[in-house]
Amino acid sequence: MWVIVPVLYRLCRLTWASKFSLQRDEQMRRGMQMKQEIKGMWYGFAGVAIFSLTLPFTHMAVQALDPLFVGFGRGALAGLLAPVVLWYLKAPLPSRGQWWPLLIIGLSVGFGFPVFSSIAMHSAPASHGAIVLGLLPLATALV
């Protein structure tokens, strides 16, 4: 009898402690999840803010430099930085079937967009380009 009471006491105490620990862990997990969401929102805000400056700075650059030089320079800089970031993040290599779509997207986004936007900013105001860029996500969603 004297042996069973301490064992039951310890068992009840462990059950209560584990329940409290699980509640505390759940609260910590929710708090960390909220912090991750806030962090993601700030990263999204920073990305949108930086992207919104693309056309004004391109417009300023093409006033002094050749539009093709600006466009290909932006693509080349992105092409030089991307492997470094992928190496740092230890990203796995794409599978064999992913190379062709990646090449098409890479050429379109890495060179097509910068070159064509540079040519456009040479002859059009940045505000006109901003309207087109603002409509691109809508057009993508509709297609």
Mean pLDDT for 48-75 is 89
pLDDT value, residue 32? 67
pLDDT value of residue 36: 80
* Residue 70 contacts residue 118 (beta carbons within 8 Å): yes
pLDDT of residue 8: 45
pLDDT at 3 over 60: no
Band of pLDDT at residue 31, cut at 50, 70 and 90: low
Q: Tens digit of pLDDT for each residue in 89-130?
A: 999 999 999 999 999 988 888 888 889 889 988 888 888 888
Q: What is the pTM of this model?
A: 0.63
Identify which of 124, 6, 10 has the alpha carbon closest to the alpha carbon of residue 67.
124
* pLDDT grade for 50, boundaries at 50, 70 and 90: confident
Cβ pair 113, 55 in contact under 8 A: no
- Give CA–CA dist 25/82, Å, rounded: 38
